[in-house]
Structure formats: structure tokens, C-alpha cells
Chains A and B, each alone.
Chain A
Amino acid sequence: MEWTNLIKLLNLLCSGALTSIQLFCYTLLFSLPLGLAVALGRMSKRPYIRGPIKFYILIMRGTPLLLQIIFVYFAPSFMMPEGFRINLDRFVAAVIAFSLNYAAYFAEIYRGGIESIPQGQYEAAAVLGFTKSQTFFRIILPQVIKRILPPISNEVITLVKDTALIQVLGISELFRVAKNESSRLFSTLPLFVAGLFYLAMNWVVTRVFHLAEKKLSYYK
């Protein structure tokens, strides 16, 4: 392959990767806080809150993300009665589906972390007069974050690779671009280079989590 063609290919892949990275960032932005809310709902003492949340987590973790993407995109326009039909932007639909899906996984990680904090921490905070929200945000959550970093990093790495799924909506993300170029050029090289792109992105993710763990290693 000539140099000019290679540079053209890299250019295309970069623009595809940009779309993937955008989806990645939006998903984290929405699913990390949403997951915390879902975790708190999942741990609620009230069955009418806990029940639906458990059902939500079951659906999100129990069906393919690919199916969820298709559902979120098509349901508002096909399943709604006449007059209520909405045409969602493809990318917006993808962000919604990803955020809902990842929030369910993050929620269970948060829950595991929160439930691993000894009861004594809550009691010490209570007798010192901390309110419930102060106790959660000042005492419990910082300790939870340290404990859940490894499982969260697993999910975030998976998310980088899952972004390839939105090609089902015809969005030109990294993998779809690579596949198209591959057929056009009769070469597997674009797919191979795309693989290197994913690897590079996950190398960055791994580094970030490594630094975060190091930063929180000042206590045990």
C-alpha cells in the first residue's frame, strides 16, 4: 500500500475512533452517577423501590446490549401510537442504551463495595453526629471507590470494545469504518489497525486506573 493511502486510511480510522470515544465518554458521564442511584435503589428497604430496580438490572444484564441498542432506537418510533412517535437521533439512542446498560453493571459493583464497608463505620459516624448524606459522601463513598476500582476498570475496558456494537445503527464508529475499508481495499490491514486502535485506547484506560489506584494507596 502506498503511503498516501495509508495516511488516508489512518485519517478515516481516526474519525471513526473519535465517534467511538465520544460514545465512551458520554456513557461514563451518565452511567457512573446513574449506577450509584440504581445501587442505592437496589439496597432500599422499600420493596416497591427495590423490586422494580431488581427487574431493571435483570433485563439490562440478561439481554444482549446489541438488542437493547436496536430497541431504544426503534421502539419510540415503531411501538408508540400514532402522534406520539419520536425519531431519536441514532447517536443519542446509542448513548441512552449504553448508559442504561452500563449503569446496571456499575450498580452491582457499587452495591458490592458499599456492602463491604463495616457497620462500625456507620455507627462511628452516627454517634459523632454526621447526617446520613454526610456519612455516605464523606465516610463511606471514598472507601467504596478505593475498593471498586479494579472491577470498575474491567467494565470500562469492556466499554471501549463494546462501542463497536453501535454499527448496527449505521453509525460510522471505528470498527465499521475499518470493515468498510477492508472490503473496499480487499485487505485485512484496516481491521488489524483498528485492533491496534482499541488496544491503544485500553492502554490509556489501564494507565488511568493504575494511577488512580496508586493515588488511593495512601491508606489501607
Chain B
Amino acid sequence: MQILHVEYLRKSFDGQTILSNVSLEISKGEVIAVIGPSGSGKSTLLRCLTLLERIDQGKITVEGDVMVDSPNGHPRYAPEETLRKIRLKLGMVFQNFNLFPHFSVLQNITEAPVHVAGVPYEVAKANALELLEKIGLSDKADAYPYQLSGGQSQRVAIARALAMKPDVLFFDEPTSALDPELTGEVLKVIRALAAEHMTMMVVTHEMAFARDVADRVIFMDNGQIIETGTPDQIFLNPTNERTKTFLQRFSENG
């Protein structure tokens, strides 16, 4: 079953093209890793899919609901109520966590279910405590974000996104702001989600992680999808020259 469908997406900032001709689809339970050099448009793509940026052209469909279409070259977004419905199906984890500093860990996780989804507080709390146990932070329920390490913050951010029970979860370089010794604990949580067949799209520079966890890898460069395939195809037998050069540079550095 298709969860997300993107056709010929184009996005530019101040006349500079950031994404062009991007088409992709995400099926239920699939884990997609998006790799590519800095400035290749990976993060912008995620931001377009989560409605943080508006596209200039193309069509995005989420579970049959059209988020945006451009019948005559200009983007036309669905009415706000449809967008609200779509937003609830999409979760996002940011590079810089973006936890709410004035809320405790527990409240960070319960706030949206209670005030956006209308879940009774007791139910939201029970669910949040369950999520905290899953990410190994049960003892931090009453802590405030400033008391957490980077790895702990990112795990809470994942729990916060999961609390809304999204159908697809996007990760924008979830370990890039972390010290190397802290990336492991975050990747472990994402791996556990993959094992539960959570649908995910992860922009990452962790090649080993992309290779182990992803069902499909997308390589982007210069705002375009250059190559798509299974991890084995992309990492062992890349067909495109640019993919080869990129991966070579990575294995040399890493």
C-alpha cells in the first residue's frame, strides 16, 4: 500500500533551483534512506513533504489525499482542513531536536496528543510512559530538556513524534548534531522502529546505518534523485558515476 506519492516536484529559493523533477513513492512499512552530498536538497525534500516548505511545482499525495497539485504549472494546495488531516499522518524528527524547553519530557510527548488529537490526558500519559520505556528513558519523564544529553534529547524527540501515531516518520539527519559516541543510542531506536515496520524516510550521512536498515536507498545530488535501489545495488554496484564518486569519497574519509 502506497503511503506517499511524489511526482515531478520542483522547489526553488530566490530563483535558485533546489529540487527539480523529484518523483518517488513510499510504501507502507518501508524504510528509505536518503543520502547525498551537503546541499543536494535532501533536507529541503523532507521539508516539502512535511509542509514546512511550499513547493513550486509537482504533485504530492498522502494516502490518497492530494496535498498539492499543479494542474497548470502553479502549485495549488488542498484546503487547510485537508492539510491538517494530512499533517497528522506525518511525523518529523529534526537534526536539532527542537524539544520544547519549558515542558518536561513527559509534557513534550503528551502536549500534541492532548491538544491537537484530543486524546484524554490519562491515555496520552500512559502512552507517553510506554514510549519512554521503549526508548529507555523512563527515569527522565519529569526531567527538562536542558537536563538531557543530545542522544537522550533526540530519543525524546522521536517519542514525541511517535506519540501522534504518524503513518510515516521523517528524520532529517537525526544524528548529525550528536557527538559520535551518542549516535549509537539514537540509531538503535530507529533500528527498533524499522524492525516493527514503521514507515520511515531517513536523511542521513551514516552510510553503515543506511546500508543495514534501509529497504531502499535514494542518492541525491544537485536537487535531483540520481539513483534509487536496494542498499546492495547502491553500495555495491552503483551504476551512476556521481554515486560512485560520492561513495568513494565516503569510504576514503570514513
A-side residues, CB < 8 A to B, are 118, 120-121, 123-124, 126-130, 134, 138-139, 142-143, 146, 218-220
Contacts and interface: CB of A to CB of B under 8 A. Distances in A.
Contacts of A220: 101, 144, 146
Contacts of A126: 51-52, 87
A220 B90 CA distance: 29
Given A120-B96, A121-B98, A130 B112 contact: yes
A126 B117 CA distance: 13
Contacts of B111: 128, 138
A113 B96 CA distance: 21
B115 interface: yes
Interface in B76-118: 84, 87-88, 90-92, 94, 96, 98-102, 111-112, 115-117
Given A129-B112, A130-B116, A124 B98 contact: yes
B216 interface: no
Contacts of A120: 94, 96, 98
Interface of B: 50-52, 84, 87-88, 90-92, 94, 96, 98-102, 111-112, 115-117, 144-146, 160-161, 164
Contact of A127 (B50, B100, B102): B50
Contacts of B101: 143, 219-220
Contact of A219 (B92, B145, B161): B145
Contacts of B146: 219-220
SS of B interface (majority): loop
A26 B163 CA distance: 44
B43 to A, nearest CB: 12
A146 B100 CA distance: 14
A134 B115 contact: yes
B27 to A, nearest CB: 22
B83 to A, nearest CB: 10
Contact of B88 (A129, A146, A219): A129
A218 B143 CA distance: 10
- Nearest 4 CB-CB pairings of A with B: A124-B98, A120-B98, A128-B112, A220-B146
B81 to A, nearest CB: 12
Contacts of A121: 98, 100
B144 A218 contact: yes
15 contacts: A120-B94, A121-B98, A126-B52, A126-B87, A127-B87, A127-B90, A127-B92, A127-B161, A130-B112, A134-B116, A138-B115, A142-B102, A218-B144, A219-B102, A220-B144
Contacts of A129: 84, 87-88, 112, 116-117, 164
